[in-house]
Copies of this chain bind each other. A is one copy, B any other.
Amino acid sequence: MTEAEPLLAHKSNCVYCAARPLGVCGALGDGEAFRELRDSRRAVRILDAGMPIYRQGDPTGDLFNLVSGWVVQYQDLEDGRRQVLRFLVPGALFGYEPSGIKGMCHGADALTNASLCVVPAARMAELRARHVEFNERFVWMLERDSRLAFDHLTSLGQRDARERVAHLLLELAIRSTGRYPIEPGETFKIPLNQPLIAEATGLTSIHVNRMLRRLREDQILDFRNGRLTVINPELLVGVAGITDTLLTLWTRAGRAEVEVPCAQHA
């Protein structure tokens, strides 16, 4: 929990940030505010795969910047049903809630080994007030996340099971690498299992299994053991039903104007 811990322990999980595992990067950019933020982080947390970061109902107060690894956010109902809200890749900022509510309305778990910086919400608000550019970056991130949530709404409401699974896997492939287009046969490491895909798509894991098999038989994609092979990118894009806007938000292209990647990755 302190900087004295072996912070590089999980660096192999970090796609963008291994060179700078202590930093706050990605969505938060690289300016003066970034340096202030780095200095004002309260702690660095190193997590093993599967560990909870916070639970639904926990008191609010800290924000987290994901330095390496993947995180899943979810919401539980009283009767045990669970909906995955989104998957986070390195660079994400999460854990905020609108002020005025008592506790977190969702939970977050580390999906892989992960490391993250902890920043008190009040400190973040102060930094936003002092640095206009930093504030704009934060607002941009909120607006982008709103659009991603809209896209997921459309998926859950309108697409059938096969389309939903294809859409999710394509999204994660593109978001995790920031690249597009995809070559036939290209592979991606996506640390999900079938029950998780089910919770994200509103299906049962059994049905997800059948959809994955159909997508494999149709020569569209092959997902097994956390490894996605895109057999036919054109077909996949067609089934997933993505738009140019989505591609912009999923790839680094969308961030270019507002978000400056860590120096090492520029």
**Interface residues in chain A, defined as those with a beta carbon under 8 Å from any beta carbon in chain B:** 75, 77-78, 81-83, 85, 96-103, 105-106, 125, 128-129, 132, 135-136, 138-140, 142-147, 149-154, 156-158, 199-202, 241, 243-246, 248-249, 253-258
CB–CB A158/B125 < 8 A: no
Given that A140-B98, A153-B152 are known contacts, is A82 also in contact with B241, CB under 8 Å in the complex? no
A245 vs B136: C-alpha distance in the bound complex, in angstroms?
27
Whether A241 and B77, one on each chain, are in contact in the complex, defined by CB atoms closer than 8 angstroms, is yes
Query: Is B101's CB under 8 angstroms from A248's CB?
Result: yes
Number of copies of this protein chain within its complex: 2
Q: Which 8 A-B pairs have the closest CB atoms?
A: A157-B202, A156-B156, A98-B143, A149-B149, A142-B142, A83-B154, A105-B245, A98-B144
Residue of B106, B129, B258 near A132 (CB, 8 A) is B129
In the complex, what distance in Å separates the CA atom of A132 from the CA atom of B131? Answer: 11
Question: Would A105 and B147 be within 8 Å (CB), given that A77-B241, A153-B153, A156-B202 are in contact?
Answer: yes
List the B side residues contacting A125 at CB < 8 Å: 136
Distance (whole angstroms) from the CB of A135 to the closest CB of chain B: 7
Chain B residues, CB < 8 A from A81? 158
What is the bound-complex CA distance between A51 and B149, given in angstroms?
Answer: 26
Q: Which of B129, B139, B143, B150 contacts A149 (CB 8 A)?
A: B150
Q: CA–CA, A153 to B81, complex, Å?
A: 13
Question: What is the bound-complex CA distance between A77 and B101, given in angstroms?
Answer: 35
CB pair B202–A106 under 8 Å, yes or no, is: no
User: For the complex, what is the distance from the CA of A78 to the CA of B257, rounded to whole Å?
Assistant: 29
Tell me if B147 and A98 are in contact (CB < 8 A): yes
| CA A109 to CA B5, docked complex, whole Å | 54
Verify B139–A102 contact, CB threshold 8 A.
no
Bound form: Cα–Cα A165–B241 in Å: 27
Cross-chain contact A149 with B158 (CB below 8 angstroms): no
Q: Are B83 and A249 in contact (CB under 8 A)?
A: no
Contact in complex: A146, B147 (CB < 8 Å): no
